[in-house]
Amino acid sequence: MRILNDTITNEELILIAKNCFGDMVKAVVDVDREIVAIDAELHSDLEALCIENGSEQNCLWGINYYPEMDGEDFIEFDSMINLRPSQGNFNRSVNDEIIRKKIVEISDKWIKRD
């Protein structure tokens, strides 16, 4: 479990996936600070790590990376931590298209996919 402080390659992400879920890596993205935490069994553990390191909970969104998938299939916007009625998010997905776009941009900044 770690917050990325350097970019990683897609190949590194594939190895992380194989060591835990096989084809998927859980991640939490801070859309305000533009950071990504990866590699835990639960999104809530990554959320706690980010909060311990200065993130605000309302800026954190849980996603899953599928490093062997292409295009839009690379990111799945699904996590229990995304259930936020107070922010108008009433399910496990990330409903706001602006936030989704920001998550993709931040992911592209940290994960180099060729």
Strands across the sheet containing 2-3: 2-3, 35-38, 25-30, 60-65, 75-76
- pTM to 2 decimals? 0.96
pLDDT in tens, 65-77: 999 999 999 999 9
Q: What are the structural domain ranges in the chain? A: 2-112
pLDDT in tens, 57-114: 999 999 999 999 999 999 999 999 999 999 999 999 999 999 999 999 999 999 999 7
Main-chain dihedrals φ then ψ at residue 26, nearest 5 degrees: -75, 145
